[in-house]
Amino acid sequence: MRTRMLSLFVAVAVLALCTASPAQMTQYDEDQRWNTESHIGSLTGHATGAKVTYRRFCVGCHGVIGDGEGENAQWLDPKPRNFTLGQFKCRSTPTGTLPTDEDLYNTIGRGIVNSNMPAWFPLTNQERADLVAYVKHFSSKWTTEKAGQPIEIPAEPEITAERVKAGEGLFKKLECWKCHGVEGRANGPSADTLTDDQNRPIRPFNFHDGSRFKCGTTDQDLFKIFMTGLDGTPMPSFADNVKPEEAWELVMYLRTLQPANPLNTKEKIIAKQLGLKPINPYAAPPAQPESK
Amino acid sequence: MTAFRRCLAGALLFLFLSFGCIQDASALPAFARKYGLRCSACHLAWPVLNDFGMRFRDNGYQLMNEKDAPIWQNNGYWPVTFRITPNWHRESSNKVQVDTAAGAGAGEVQVTSHGYDISGLDFHTGGTLEKNLSFYVLPSSDSTGAFHFETVMGRLDNLFGSTWLNVKLGKFELDNMISEKRILTISNNGGFYQLYHFVPVGDTNVFGQMGDNQLGMEWMGHSFNDHTRVSAALVSSNDGQVGLPNGNSYSGFFTASQAFDAGGLGLQRIGGYAFIGEAPTNTLSLTAPTGEVTATGVPIVSTTPVPGSGFGNKSFSREGFFGLFYVKKFDFDVFYQHGSDDAYFGSATVAGTPLPTGARNPTWNGAFIESHYTWNPQLIFIQRSEWVRMSQQALPTNPSNLGNIDAYTFGYRWYPIMTSRAGFAWHNEYSWVRQRGTSPVTATDLSSSSLMLGFDFDF
Amino acid sequence: MNVGSNQEKDPMTSRFKLTGIMSALLLVSVAALYSARGASAAGEGKITGTIKLDGTPPHMKPIDMSKEPSCQQIHAAHPVTLENVVVGANGGLQNVVVYISEGLSAGAAGQVPSETPTWDQKGCQYIPHVLALDVNQHFKVVNSDQTSHNIHPTPNPAGTNHEWNKSQPPGAPPFDVTWTAPEVAVPVKCNIHPWMHGYMAVVKGPSAVSDNNGAFTVNDVPPGNYTVTAWQEVYGTQTAKVTVAAGKPVTADFTFKAK
């Protein structure tokens, strides 16, 4: 018994060292991870518990080995997530790190707007927790590293005209308009040439027409999107250059770009009061005392 | 009860199939093609819906992903599905009226027939015309190819952005939580719920049919997660017959249900319903010559009802509760009904004329329990037991058990393919029904059975 | 099942097995440890050489930077082209990574240089176009332009290097990065400026990148027998076997054939 366990241990250790090789996931690899678990609040999910659920709901798009090559994938845009890569868009963790179990649980329940990923919250909580474990078991990354540390999200401050204007300044300084356009219509100078991590064309989010983001609808969701980036897409993380308090200002400005119907947020009311116009990205900053 | 147990034991050991009446709403591969989901995503085992599919339907056939409007589909996409079931079936009835030496129509004999046959064709088309504007049109034919419109409806979904405001207009199935149009048994005797069509013997109320699609308007509201559902429908009391044949009477159908998340077991749902309304007992008539004459030259006349002139409305009601319970792979549907028709209906009396002596409102209680075992998304076992018991007969001369029904059905469906393009089920079913005192000559118990094996497929 | 009788069968062989496995584990874990206790040999050697392209180099398309006026201005006098194949005046092939693919001792492979090279974005181009790094070596990402860039490396998803994507507005401070696994090479792109492409070659041990004359020098190579690999982004890899002696440079030349 002991020797068998030890050889297994050595086998796993050797396998872990071989991860640099560009091997495809095999049935053997997958079989090592049937005991994957997930923990969301008080729920514990087990990959083995989700076999039938995955087959019933997910396999048509995400494929039998979770590589996003289900029978329908060839007709879908955006393409279904390839779970074997261990890379996800909607996270609360920094760019280049794994999402938390709760991030995956929320994505499954909420679905991804403007895509074919349905909102699966009619499934029970336990079913979804099991599916999170099942999604994780497709990639070896979860056996070699832990999920990232969720970013700090301070409490949302009151929406004021000063903050909206500060957010406008950030929108200009961070050059969001290069892709999203000055009115947020996804028509910035770089919008047409954007490609995702597999070099497939992809469009930026259209704030002018879109009331819901891929990763949620709330201000917190919007905060997380640009402070963690949407890995796998051109949308980068701005966490290195935006302080959390400043991030809320940008959230408030972005809300002014979104349609009044159905949102009609306080930010839109403030924007109207301020007479806020689209930014002019090429306007020179106000003249400095010393000449350049 | 022992006989029932024996029947159940037989069901577990020995599963047969039989084919019968057309079933309507089914898996719509048109939806599967539109969204890239397999049938098993929305259907426990098509045609019966699971909770995810129910929410999809309640949202107006929308996933609410901002990709529901038809503009997101390739312009070659056409939301049409057809369903048909070629089969072999065996029908048997123990007392069929026949001519005998004793006289015309004097005898009752058992008649059994079996052979290959086909069902009618359902041509489903449904989905969205635009975001939050959905529709469903279902021309349906019998097995000879004679078509009628089973469903024609347009629906305004999520009015003012609220899931509680959805309005439907047209001809549609009443909001039965246990949908007869999505029933898993499709034989002649097993393809419907007795309680959705039950009328006491001799009763003239053909309007209180919960299982027939009705013409009317329905408001329906549901919570965001679809755990709470309510609806109220106002329908014309003409049992879905077009052309306003019966005059100006209406009925209302009300239902509400609440679902509970039972963790690992699944979602449990309980609710209640009421179908109350009035319908005509009489119409105006017109006697006119047919243009033919008898042998002696006397013109032949016929008396026909004047269309749309129904009057003498009397009331009826059906109310009860239902429950849908999931225990991992098992699920049980429980349904109870208390029904009551006005004495005028029960005694086949037109309003304004005196009732027969001792005529009362016929009332009854009935229940069915249908259980499923879903071995996996491609194999489901079905069993149903249904009982109807008259609690008060319309006429004192009626035997107290006249019209009581016992019905048992069992079968299984095996889906060898499960894709996002088409559905196919190897359908096997046996059903047996007995009604007290309704045989045509001797007014004794009448029983019939269906055995069916068929290919139930849709594309 | 009687566990006792199993143990009685072959006590000696099972103990040998145990010892063997434990020592193998020990060796494996030592090798996996990145320790600065690597062989600091006296008299390290060098590998030098020249890399040439045999044949006519492919035509490199000029880059249209009209969508980024601030960068277009910088190159107004000398428009730039794509840099997939850069050949110098004498047929020397630039931007070829030369590294030791086999033969390095665990200690030498585990050494991480303390230098922090810079990955700069200047004139909407990556300077250098190809950067050779050690595993776990820190490097700095700098934006010297008046426009935002996003730095988006896309390593091989089957490996353990993670893809990440960070924005760097003009005037933002440099940020520090390391790669945890060897990979030749990680493509890097900027989504805002789709013509920007570069590579980071992450290797273990010393490495070099050829200059405009195709010349390279790999320093700090301990004496030993090695396989040296040269990688170019279009023409792939070539290998050569060398023996390095202390204090003496050894030459390895490579010639890639133009397709």
d(CA A81, CA A62): 7
CB-CB: which of C14, C159, C166 is closest to A240? C166
B69-100 b/e with 16+ CB inside 10 Å = b?
A: ebebbeeeeebbbbbbbebebbbbbbbbbeee
Instruction: Please answer yes or no on whether C159 and A85 come within 8 Å at the CB atom.
Output: no
Percent pLDDT > 90 in chain B is 74
| Calpha distance A271→A105 (Å, rounded) | 35
For chain A, positions 125-144, list CB contacts with chain C under 8 A.
Answer: 141, 144
CA-CA-CA-CA dihedral for B386, B392, B394, B399, to nearest 10:
80
Phi, psi of B416 (to 5 degrees): -65, -30
Measured CA to CA, the distance from residue C68 to residue C124 in angstroms comes to: 8
C158 preceded by a cis bond (ω within 30 of 0):
no
Is the pLDDT at B252 greater than 60? The verdict is yes
Query: Does A13 have pLDDT greater than 50?
Result: no
Let me know: does C51 contact C93? Beta carbons within 8 Å: yes
Cβ–Cβ contact A169 with C under 8 A: no
What residues form DSSP beta bridges with B135?
B127, B154
CB contact under 8 A, C157 and A193: no
pLDDT in tens, A136-174: 999 989 988 999 999 999 999 999 999 999 999 999 999
**Residue A26 contacts C, CB cutoff 8 Å:** no
Q: Where are the domains of chain B?
A: 2-458
pLDDT digits (tens, 9 = 90+) for B120-144: 999 999 999 999 999 999 999 999 9
Asked if the Cβ–Cβ distance from C157 to A174 is below 8 Å, we say no
Residues in chain A: 292
Nearest CA-CA distance, residue C206 and chain A, Å: 19
Distance from CA of A281 to the nearest CA of B (A): 31
Q: Which of B373, B65, B324, B155 is nearest to A121 (CA)?
A: B65
Q: How far apart are CA C159 and CA B453, in angstroms?
A: 54
Q: How confident is the model at residue A274 (pLDDT cuts 50, 70, 90)?
A: confident
The answer to whether B261 faces chain A, any CB pair under 8 Å, is yes
Q: Do A95 and C166 touch (CB under 8 A)?
A: yes
Q: Could you say which of 2.60.40.420, 3.30.465.10, 3.30.1330.10, 3.30.2010.10 is the CATH number of the domain covering C45-257?
A: 2.60.40.420
**More confidently predicted of B166 and C45:** B166
**Tell me, what's the pLDDT at C194?**
93
Which of B63, B226, B263 lies nearest to residue A124, judging by beta carbons? B263
pLDDT in the model for residue B262 = 83
Please state, in angstroms and rounded to a whole number, the distance separating the CA atoms of residues C61 and C53. 18
Q: Is C166 on the interface with A (CB under 8 A)?
A: yes
Domain boundaries, chain C: 3-32, 45-257
B386 pLDDT higher than 50: yes
pLDDT for residue B217 is more than 70:
yes
For A33-62, what is the mean pLDDT?
93
User: What's the longest Cα–Cα distance across chain C?
Assistant: 87
CATH T-level fold of A161-274: Cytochrome Bc1 Complex; Chain D, domain 2 (1.10.760)
Mean pLDDT of A26-46: 85
Q: Count chain A–chain C contacts defined by CB atoms under 8 A.
A: 117
Q: Residue B345: what pLDDT?
A: 93
Question: What's the CATH fold of domain B2-458?
Answer: Porin (2.40.160)
Q: Give the pair of three-digit tokens for residue B403.
A: 């019209």
Cross-chain Cβ contact C192/A17 below 8 Å? no
The three state secondary structure string of C46-91 is: EEEEEEEEECCCCCCCECCCCCCHHHHHHCCCCCCECCCCCECCCC
Which chains neighbour A (Cβ–Cβ under 8 Å, 3 or more pairs)?
A: B, C
pLDDT at position B18: 34
pLDDT tens digit string along A207-233?
A: 998 889 999 999 999 999 999 999 999
Residue B15 has pLDDT above 90, yes or no: no
Counted residue by residue, chain C has a size of 259
CA quadruple C15, C16, C20, C21: dihedral sign: negative
Residue A97 has pLDDT above 60, yes or no: yes
Is-cis flag, bond preceding A78, omega within 30?
Answer: yes
The whole-number pLDDT of residue B259 equals 94
- With pLDDT > 70 as the criterion, what percentage of chain A qualifies? 87
Interface predicted TM-score (ipTM): 0.83
The CA distance from C195 to A288, in Å, is: 34
Residue A48 phi, psi (nearest 5): -65, -25
Residue B168 to chain A, least CA–CA distance (Å): 23
Is beta strand B423-435 parallel, antiparallel or unpaired with respect to B446-458?
antiparallel
Spatial separation of the C-alpha atoms in residues A163 and A157, rounded to whole Å: 9
- The confidence score (pLDDT) of residue C6 equals 43
Using CB atoms within 10 A of its CB, is residue B303 exposed (0-12), middle (13-18) or buried (19+)?
Answer: exposed
Left if phi > 0, otherwise alpha if psi is -120 to 50, otherwise beta: which for B335? beta
Q: Is the pLDDT of residue B170 over 90?
A: yes
The DSSP 8-state label assigned to residue C213 in this structure reads: T
At C184, list the tokens.
């030749």
Q: How do residues C173-227 score in pLDDT, each as one tens digit?
A: 999 999 999 999 999 999 999 999 999 999 999 999 999 999 999 988 999 999 9
Helix (H/G/I), strand (E/B), else coil: A246:
helix
pLDDT digits (tens, 9 = 90+) for C91-125: 899 999 999 999 988 888 888 889 999 999 999 99
Q: What's chain B's average pLDDT? A: 91
Which residues on chain C are in Cβ contact (under 8 Å) with A197? 154, 163
- C230 pLDDT above the threshold of 60: yes
Cis preceding-peptide flag for A236 (omega within 30 of 0): no
Q: If residue A144 lies in a helix (H) or strand (E), which one and from where to where? A: helix A141-144
B253-271 tens-digit pLDDT: 999 999 998 877 888 999 9
Query: How confident is the model over A165-175, as pLDDT tens digits?
Result: 999 999 999 99
What top-level class would CATH report for the domain A29-144?
Answer: mainly alpha
**What is the residue extent of each domain of chain A?**
29-144, 161-274
Percent of residues, chain B, with pLDDT higher than 70: 95
As a whole number of Å, the CA-based R_g of chain A is 22
- Average of per-residue pLDDT across B199-207: 91
End-to-end CA distance of chain C: 67
Is the CB of C165 less than 8 angstroms away from the CB of A234? yes
Per-residue confidence (pLDDT) for residue B245, from 0 to 100? 84
> Please, which residues bridge with residue B146 across strands?
none
pLDDT at B22 over 50: no
**DSSP string across B174-211:** ---SS-STT-S--STTTSS-GGGT---TT----S--TT
State the pLDDT at residue B9. Answer: 43
Q: How far is CA B54 from the centre of its chain?
A: 18
